[in-house]
Chain A
Amino acid sequence: MNYTLLILMSIPAVLSLGYFSRRFKEVTVASGVITVAISLYILLTGMHDSGTFFVDYLSRYLIVTISSIYLLSVLFGLGYHHKIGESANMRLHLSLTDLFVSTMLFSVTINNFGLLWFGIEATTVSSALLLVIEREPLKIEAAWRYVIIVSAGLTISLVSVVTMYYAFGTLTISKIISSGGSFTELTGIAAGAALVGYGTKVGLFPMHAWLPDAHSEAPSEVSAMFSGVLLPVAIYALYRVYEATADPKITSLYLFVALLTMVFAALILPSQRFYKRMFAYSTMENMAMILIGLLAGGIGVTGAIILMVSHAFGKGGAFYSSGNILETYGTKSISQISGMREKMPYTSVSLILSSLAVTGAPPFGTFLGEFLILAALYASGYTIPFILALVSLFIAFASINFHVSRMVFSGRSEKRDEPSVLQRAVAIFSSVVPLIIPVIFVLGGMI
């Protein structure tokens, strides 16, 4: 048993009991700091495990990303929810955030396909109530859609667990993957069921119906966690099944669905009226791109990891900025926002930086990630998918940055009105990190 990993996922779970403490906010922040410290230790020591837990390069980067977005979201939430004060709702919200993080860390490290399914489903249970810290009807409706659509979809991925157990005689991830996997009719069913089931959680078209609703109605720091880390955790589960059942037919099927998602997101982005929904559709596009990178293999996998990490911080910055805008303007409608550059200069900077980051503008890490993925796609001979992905990326880039520019540069405002320093600092920090990521990867010898 790897005790470092056990401690890593236990800390948020145990400290969620801070609900009962008077210093519950400090306890949650401490949980975030300790989790980040342990995650960095795991990454820097290159920890590898294939016992009870399964840790490889992909898990290590996911662990660090989950922990970092967790800490940033907790810090942002403390400012963002200041009106709620120290109410029971706030206590419950922070406790559930801890449990949510714990289930994500469990999912990306457990060495069993059955328990991986359980972990992914547990992320739904623990995060459902995070959407309704303020019990507004619209938020409850969005939370309901999230719970029902995702759970109904995930049940289908349980078919993949059953068929894999029948096909391989074990559910141990490391054993199945190290045996090289194999393709039979049953593993084909497993791959298909996983695509529908985990694909619902990832937000792949056409199972994405819950995603824009949940992202737009959740508190901004929860949207950041959903977009930045929850969906990559679901991609992780999908990718593990893919690794076990890899076959050219399955690759083509997964690639087709991922491309369909990218094209759909690109087509719907120009007509978006609400900025949080716009960023939600941008998440769909980025998740599809990450999946394409993992499918392309080779340098595409490196690109997918860079994109995943950069996108998590970039999208975090976009949603934290969205939270600041919502707090100041009281609306999510793009057309009702103007004069941001005078009214909210700091948030304007974080919003522009994060928008550029999530749309893959150079020199952000997302650009490097997307470049490597496209290169891998082209090198593998997928010319039409390459063109489709490139065009979709361009449309998404133009749409999002046009909407954001309109919000920031149109109109004038006399009065400055920004949220707390903590909220602004978290938004700017999160938006700047994707600029540093390429440097870290180059210095770390990943590229």
Chain B
Amino acid sequence: MIFSELEGIIGVLMLASTLVVQIRSYIRPMTNTVVTQSILLASIAIIIGIRESSIDLIILAILIIVLRGFLVRYVLNRRLPKARMFVREYSHGVASVTLASVIVLIASFLVFRYAFYPSVHDPLGAIGLSILFQGLLLISTRRNSFAHFIGYVEEENGIIFLSLSIIPLPLLIEISVLLDVLALVIAGTVLVTDNVEHTRVEELMG
């Protein structure tokens, strides 16, 4: 009982962190928030690991902390321009993004309720699905490369949360997913140039 309550509390904290990321403009605090979210995800894996006596989930938690808690943050922070302490994305649509975020949240709960819940009978997965969709929303509403990365990491956190609440995947698959995110972030940072804002380009239209 206490385990499931803990899972619920941490799940809600993770969801809150995604909403905080949506309305942030400064990139460094966004990175820190998503790292906190990853550590919360690791603690859920530890709780389920203890409850199920699964060493695989404990290993997964450690890997999440090492790969997402430290390495991804390290890679992203290294690429943030050093000259400017506070890298900011200028956004004029905070109100509309907040509204879109709430709509996506409600929509993802409804999708889970009617598509997943009749088969899996565990409401916690709705949080994972919501985080996944919030990550997608972040990618689609921002122009900044770092915000895109953070949205992608959020998406992956959401899917791991969903998997943990429905059925934990075999460790080999989970490790592959984690390594894949790290590799993609490293490959992606090579593509991040001084100009981190993405705009419309004539040659790439039509």
B180 close to A152 (CB less than 8 A): no
Choose among A147, A155, A167 the residue that contacts B191 (Cβ–Cβ < 8 A): A147
B173 close to A152 (CB less than 8 A): no
State in angstroms the CA–CA spacing of A167 and B118 once bound together: 13
Shortest A264–chain B CB gap in Å is 13
Which residue, B139, B187, B190, has most C-beta atoms of chain A within 10 A?
B187
CB contacts under 8 Å to A, within B157-192, are: 159, 162-163, 166-167, 169-170, 172-173, 176-177, 180, 183-184, 187-188, 190-191
Choose among A129, A163, A165, A274 the residue that contacts B187 (Cβ–Cβ < 8 A): A129
Choose among B139, B159, B162, B177 the residue that contacts A148 (Cβ–Cβ < 8 A): B139
A162 close to B152 (CB less than 8 A): no
Shortest A241–chain B CB gap in Å is 15
* A122 CB-CB contact with B under 8 Å: yes
* A271 CB-CB contact with B under 8 Å: yes
A162 close to B191 (CB less than 8 A): no
State in angstroms the CA–CA spacing of A143 and B204 once bound together: 12
Which residue, B116, B166, B180, B193, has most C-beta atoms of chain A within 10 A?
B180
State in angstroms the CA–CA spacing of A142 and B163 once bound together: 32
B170 close to A128 (CB less than 8 A): no
* B203 CB-CB contact with A under 8 Å: yes
State in angstroms the CA–CA spacing of A181 and B120 once bound together: 19
Knowing A141-B204, A159-B159, A171-B170, the reply to whether A151 touches B152 (Cβ < 8 A) is yes
State in angstroms the CA–CA spacing of A125 and B181 once bound together: 9
**A96 (CB) vs chain B CBs: closest residue:** B187
* B206 CB-CB contact with A under 8 Å: yes
State in angstroms the CA–CA spacing of A122 and B201 once bound together: 28
Range of interface residues on A (Cβ < 8 Å)? 35 or more
Number of B interface residues, CB 8 Å?
A: 41
Knowing A114-B172, A184-B119, the reply to whether A162 touches B163 (Cβ < 8 A) is yes
A128 close to B159 (CB less than 8 A): no
A114 close to B170 (CB less than 8 A): yes
Chain B residues lying within 8 Å of A351, measured Cβ to Cβ, are none
* A404 CB-CB contact with B under 8 Å: no
Knowing A125-B180, A272-B206, the reply to whether A138 touches B201 (Cβ < 8 A) is yes
Contact with B along A302-338 (1 / 0, CB 8 A): 0000000000000000000000000000001000000
Shortest B161–chain A CB gap in Å is 11
* B73 CB-CB contact with A under 8 Å: no
CB contacts under 8 Å to A, within B106-140, are: 115-116, 118-120, 129, 132, 135-136, 139
* A389 CB-CB contact with B under 8 Å: no
Chain B residues lying within 8 Å of A274, measured Cβ to Cβ, are 203, 206
State in angstroms the CA–CA spacing of A213 and B200 once bound together: 12
Choose among A122, A143, A212, A213 the residue that contacts B180 (Cβ–Cβ < 8 A): A122
**A187 (CB) vs chain B CBs: closest residue:** B119
Shortest A430–chain B CB gap in Å is 26
State in angstroms the CA–CA spacing of A143 and B184 once bound together: 12
Chain A residues lying within 8 Å of B203, measured Cβ to Cβ, are 138, 216, 274, 332
State in angstroms the CA–CA spacing of A273 and B193 once bound together: 28
* A105 CB-CB contact with B under 8 Å: no
* A224 CB-CB contact with B under 8 Å: no
Shortest B195–chain A CB gap in Å is 7
Chain A residues lying within 8 Å of B24, measured Cβ to Cβ, are none
B184 close to A189 (CB less than 8 A): no
B159 close to A158 (CB less than 8 A): yes
A162 close to B176 (CB less than 8 A): no
Chain B residues lying within 8 Å of A414, measured Cβ to Cβ, are none
CB contacts under 8 Å to B, within A268-291, are: 268, 271-274, 277
B193 close to A137 (CB less than 8 A): yes
Knowing A114-B172, A151-B152, A171-B173, the reply to whether A141 touches B201 (Cβ < 8 A) is yes
A152 close to B163 (CB less than 8 A): no
* B148 CB-CB contact with A under 8 Å: yes
State in angstroms the CA–CA spacing of A115 and B135 once bound together: 23
B191 close to A121 (CB less than 8 A): no
* A353 CB-CB contact with B under 8 Å: no
B132 close to A155 (CB less than 8 A): yes
* A186 CB-CB contact with B under 8 Å: yes
Choose among B129, B163, B184 the residue that contacts A124 (Cβ–Cβ < 8 A): B184
**A185 (CB) vs chain B CBs: closest residue:** B119
Of all A-B residue pairs in the complex, the 7 with the closest CB atoms, nearest first, are: A114-B173, A118-B176, A155-B155, A166-B167, A162-B163, A125-B183, A186-B119
* 11 examples of A-B residue contacts, CB within 8 angstroms: A125-B183, A129-B190, A147-B191, A148-B148, A152-B139, A155-B156, A165-B169, A171-B170, A184-B119, A189-B115, A274-B206
Q: A152-B151, A162-B169, A216-B204 are known contacts; what are 6 more A-B pairs with Cβ within 8 Å?
A: A118-B177, A148-B188, A159-B132, A186-B119, A189-B116, A268-B206
